Amino acid sequence: MKAAIPKPTVHDLAREAGVSLATVDRVLNERPGVREKTVARVKAAVERIGYVRDTHAANLARRRQYRFAIVLPEGPNQFVDTLRSAVQEASGAQFAERALVEMIPIPSHDPHAVARTLNGLNTARLDGVAIMAPETPQVRDAVDRLKDEGLAVVALVSDLPSSARDFFVGINSFAAGRTAAVLMGRFLRGLTGHILVVTNTMQARDSIERRFGFDAVMADEFPALEVLPSIESHDDPERMRRCVREALASYGDIRGIYSMGSGNTPLLEALRGAGDLEGRVVIAHEMTPVTRQALLDGEVDAVITQNVGHLVRSALRVLRARCDGVEIFEPQERIRIDIVIRENLT
Amino acid sequence: MKAAIPKPTVHDLAREAGVSLATVDRVLNERPGVREKTVARVKAAVERIGYVRDTHAANLARRRQYRFAIVLPEGPNQFVDTLRSAVQEASGAQFAERALVEMIPIPSHDPHAVARTLNGLNTARLDGVAIMAPETPQVRDAVDRLKDEGLAVVALVSDLPSSARDFFVGINSFAAGRTAAVLMGRFLRGLTGHILVVTNTMQARDSIERRFGFDAVMADEFPALEVLPSIESHDDPERMRRCVREALASYGDIRGIYSMGSGNTPLLEALRGAGDLEGRVVIAHEMTPVTRQALLDGEVDAVITQNVGHLVRSALRVLRARCDGVEIFEPQERIRIDIVIRENLT
DNA sequence: TTGTAGGCGTTATCAC
DNA sequence: GTGATAACGCCTACAA
């Protein structure tokens, strides 16, 4: 409908360099069987006319289909649920973009079962995998094997730094813990007392790192507040409620509660039961229906989180880039640590 | 290299429906000249085989080129500078995606000049425009004219609600102001005193709205803190420094400073000059080299901002979608209000 | 109202 | 080493 500024194509390139389409293609895709001199001529022509490859046309001609798997912990977990629906949402859009993405559940707490699932992946039918799993030697080996088989692999949410994974998509847990600590300390300006820390399990790398970051800042900047040992619920809501109640009873001066992992529902129940949720600062991780509602109700003061939509889209973009042997645009893939309070809840 | 699961194509569709490619195309693109019955048959076939159109192939065949303009205020402004470089960055990637984007500077403070520039746009050579400009009747009319000419138009950063713009890409200023207020109030827990508010000009819609949101929360939730009238620098650094110094001198109990707009450099200079930057809470808007450094140096406690990369990519995506007559995926285009403290500075 | 043929920018399979 | 030529999935004349 409107005059278009034509972009140089391979045809223009071929003409400019005085060679055929096939040769241009060989040079562009760094295939062998072209004389040094010819290569140079084509490359010069690329610079001269400012040729940029049309990736969509290329993918079309290649009949490229990306087959990705996203490996997520199974079982009831609010955060993973939000991740799952983000994957669902994304895979619709991805389908139109020549990518098939399937979700694969893993038993979260059994390293051997996780490794078994990963090793059981049909690598011949897969181009890339995004994995959210705790770091264990078994998982590390499984990831290395996937890499050996030529797959693109990204660690999702929780890093697998000792493995051969291509990239980590997620946030720095130390920094997340530090962020929580600053808010906790500042929201409790001038007060003395104790801080309760709760989590599902301190086995998880995330929890350890968050706690580490949290403690560092608290000790450094808010010495008037003493942080108590972590309470672990081990997936047992009743245990969480009981431990929290006991802690509140034992210490008369609990000023704040830091929830490092899942289990926010029983935590909030225990706090409500304790009556005086009012004066205390509660900071939790991950935006889920529960934390969102708690934020709205004023039961939680701040949530430290990461955008699951970005997480998933980013993982998929990175996998795609790795498959194409293309550089990724780092700043776009850096997941931010979001601070959410009631007022900036979208 | 690997077995690919073939996606149904128009050919499959044609065969399934027992019609030709052309007819399939007519139905898919809702072109006239097809019998009701045939339309139904094709649509049924779409459902049956799960056909999804390959937009990239379609764009290729159409030789579609998007020509977009991004209209930004000229003159020295740190935030706009970051926006400009985000545009620069994005346009590289967009070029590969069949979009040409040019930046058009406008004299920020003269509504007539803005309107003149907008009216001077060569609409025949443009498919869409993203506009960051203060809302005035002249601008509104210019936008409406652009829409009449068939362009896609999005308001960027600052909304133009009374105009016919297709979409607003940016954050809610009231909420941004409220967010700032909550942090200010909580960081000053238990204290009594005054809050200084500074901005470049209260003429700007953003400043008015931020102030409104800020005041509402302060009055409601933090009555012990009294918010002073806005100090306006009117683009004069010296005036900013002087006014701030005077205010600090007049009131002995200024606990916090809220910087609603540009002019952070002179503000910080004045505060440094005053000596005791320490005890005060400073909250500013927009992440720029200045606010970033101030955050690192502990001179600013929190920055309320929006991710310029997202802003630009989102604007471009929306323009594209409007041009294609395609629905946008709202959650992806919702720009979040980011709270940045030193600890979650990426 | 419907169908045929050719082209979009790229890659791939043959020959030469 | 290099060059025609035919796809890829879709759209668009032009014919029927």
pLDDT per residue as tens digits for the range B143-188: 999 999 999 999 999 999 999 999 999 999 999 999 999 999 999 9
Residue A160 lies in a domain: yes
**Residues of chain A found within 8 Å of residue B179, distances taken between Cβ atoms:** 341, 343-344
Place of tokens 């590289």: B92
Helices B21-28/B36-49 angle, 10° precision: 90
Tell me the CA end-to-end span of chain B in Å, nearest whole number.
38
**Residues of chain B found within 8 Å of residue A29, distances taken between Cβ atoms:** none
The mean pLDDT of B15-41, rounded to a whole number, is: 93
DSSP-assigned states of every residue in B245-287: HHHHHH-TTEEEEEE-SS-HHHHHHHHHHTS--TT-EEEEES-
Residue B285 φ/ψ, nearest 5 degrees: -110, 150
How far apart (Å, rounded) are the C-alpha atoms in residues B118 and B112? 10
Which region among A170-184, A317-331, B161-175 has the lowest average model confidence (pLDDT)? A317-331
Query: Has residue B72 got a pLDDT over 50?
Result: yes
Q: Are strands A99-106 and A128-131 parallel, antiparallel or unpaired?
A: unpaired
* Residues A195 and A227: beta-carbon distance below 8 Å: yes
pLDDT (0 to 100) of residue A241: 94
**Which protein residue has its CA closest to C1' of C13?**
A22
Query: Has residue A203 got a pLDDT over 90?
Result: no
* A35 and A125, same domain (yes or no): no
Residue A194 lies in a domain: yes
Contact call for A96 and B54, based on CB within 8 A: yes
Residue A47 lies in a domain: yes
3-state secondary structure of A198: strand
How far apart (Å, rounded) are the C-alpha atoms in residues B333 and B328? 8
Residue A312 lies in a domain: yes
How far apart (Å, rounded) are the C-alpha atoms in residues B231 and B247? 9
Place of tokens 């935030």: B79
pLDDT (0 to 100) of residue A305: 97
Q: How far is the CA of A23 from the C1' of D3 (A)?
A: 8
* B128 and B214, same domain (yes or no): no
* A18 and A139, same domain (yes or no): no
Residue A20 lies in a domain: yes
Q: What is the 3-state secondary structure (H, E, C) of B169-215?
A: ECCCHHHHHHHHHHHHHHHCCCCCEEEEEEECCCCCHHHHHHHHHHH
Query: Has residue B74 got a pLDDT over 80?
Result: yes
Nearest nt to the B36 alpha carbon by C1'? C1
Residues above pLDDT 70, as percent of chain B: 97
Q: How far is the CA of A38 from the C1' of D5 (A)?
A: 22
Confidence grade of residue A1 (pLDDT, cut at 50, 70, 90): very low
The mean pLDDT of A75-90, rounded to a whole number, is: 93
Query: B292-324, pLDDT tens digit by residue?
Result: 999 999 999 999 999 999 999 999 999 998 988
- In angstroms, what CA-CA distances link A264 with A240, A256, B20? 9, 14, 58
How far apart (Å, rounded) are the C-alpha atoms in residues B234 and B332? 36
* Residues in A 112-151 with any Cβ partner in B closer than 8 A: 124-127
* A146 and A87, same domain (yes or no): yes
* A139 and A209, same domain (yes or no): no
Residue B92 lies in a domain: yes
Tokens describing residue A272? 């409500």
pLDDT (0 to 100) of residue A3: 52
Contact call for A344 and B341, based on CB within 8 A: no
**Residues of chain B found within 8 Å of residue A216, distances taken between Cβ atoms:** none
Could you tell me how many residues make up chain A? Answer: 346
* B200 and B294, same domain (yes or no): yes
Q: How far is the CA of B128 from the C1' of C2 (A)?
A: 36
3-state secondary structure of A322: helix
| Secondary element (H or E) of residue B47 | helix B36-49
Query: Has residue A321 got a pLDDT over 50?
Result: yes
Query: B234-279, pLDDT tens digit by residue?
Result: 989 999 999 999 999 999 899 999 999 888 999 999 998 776 656 7
* A117 and A83, same domain (yes or no): yes
Asked if the C-beta of A327 comes within 8 angstroms of chain B's C-beta atoms, the answer is no
Exposure class string for A6-21: b at 16+ Cβ within 10 A, else e: ebbbbeebbebbebee
CATH at B207: 3.40.50.2300
Place of tokens 């079982």: A75
How far apart (Å, rounded) are the C-alpha atoms in residues B171 and B51? 37
The mean pLDDT of B99-122, rounded to a whole number, is: 92
Among candidates A124, A179, A343 on the partner chain, residue whose Cβ is nearest the Cβ of B344? A179
* A239 and A269, same domain (yes or no): yes
Give the range of the structural domain holding residue A17, as residue numbers without chain letter. Answer: 10-53
Residue A265 lies in a domain: yes
**Mutation site for B-interface testing, chosen from A339, A340, A342, A345 by largest number of B Cβ within 10 Å:** A339
Contact call for A339 and B334, based on CB within 8 A: no
* A70 and A165, same domain (yes or no): yes
Place of tokens 């030709």: B20
Query: Has residue B1 got a pLDDT over 50?
Result: no
Asked if the C-beta of B29 comes within 8 angstroms of chain A's C-beta atoms, the answer is no
**Which protein residue has its CA closest to C1' of D3?**
A20
* A163 and A218, same domain (yes or no): no
Give chain A's domain count. 3
Query: A83-141, pLDDT tens digit by residue?
Result: 999 999 888 877 777 889 999 999 978 889 999 999 999 998 899 999 999 999 999 99
Query: Which residue type sits at B190?
Result: G
CB atoms within 10 A of CB A265: 17
Angle at A218 between CA A216 and CA A223, to 5 degrees: 120
**Residues of chain A found within 8 Å of residue B4, distances taken between Cβ atoms:** 63-65, 67
- Counting Cα atoms < 13 Å in the Cβ hemisphere of A333 gives 20
Q: How far is the CA of A22 from the C1' of D6 (A)?
A: 13
Q: How far is the CA of A75 from the C1' of C1 (A)?
A: 56
Query: B201-230, pLDDT tens digit by residue?
Result: 898 888 999 999 999 999 999 999 999 999
Asked if the C-beta of B182 comes within 8 angstroms of chain A's C-beta atoms, the answer is yes
**Which protein residue has its CA closest to C1' of C7?**
B61
Query: Has residue A80 got a pLDDT over 80?
Result: yes
Query: Has residue A277 got a pLDDT over 70?
Result: no
Residue B4 lies in a domain: no
* B220 and B297, same domain (yes or no): yes
Among candidates B127, B182, B343 on the partner chain, residue whose Cβ is nearest the Cβ of A175? B343
Asked if the C-beta of B3 comes within 8 angstroms of chain A's C-beta atoms, the answer is yes
How far apart (Å, rounded) are the C-alpha atoms in residues A249 and A266? 17
The distance between the two most distant Cα atoms of chain B, rounded to a whole number of Å, is 85
Average pLDDT of chain A, as a whole number: 92
| Secondary element (H or E) of residue B81 | helix B78-96
Residues above pLDDT 70, as percent of chain A: 97
Q: Which of A127, A128, A97, A131 is nearest to A117 (CA)?
A: A131
How far apart (Å, rounded) are the C-alpha atoms in residues A224 and A235? 32
**Mutation site for A-interface testing, chosen from B7, B65, B186, B212 by largest number of A Cβ within 10 Å:** B186
pLDDT (0 to 100) of residue A311: 96
Helices A78-96/A289-296 angle, 10° precision: 110
* B185 and B296, same domain (yes or no): yes
How far apart (Å, rounded) are the C-alpha atoms in residues A157 and A315? 10
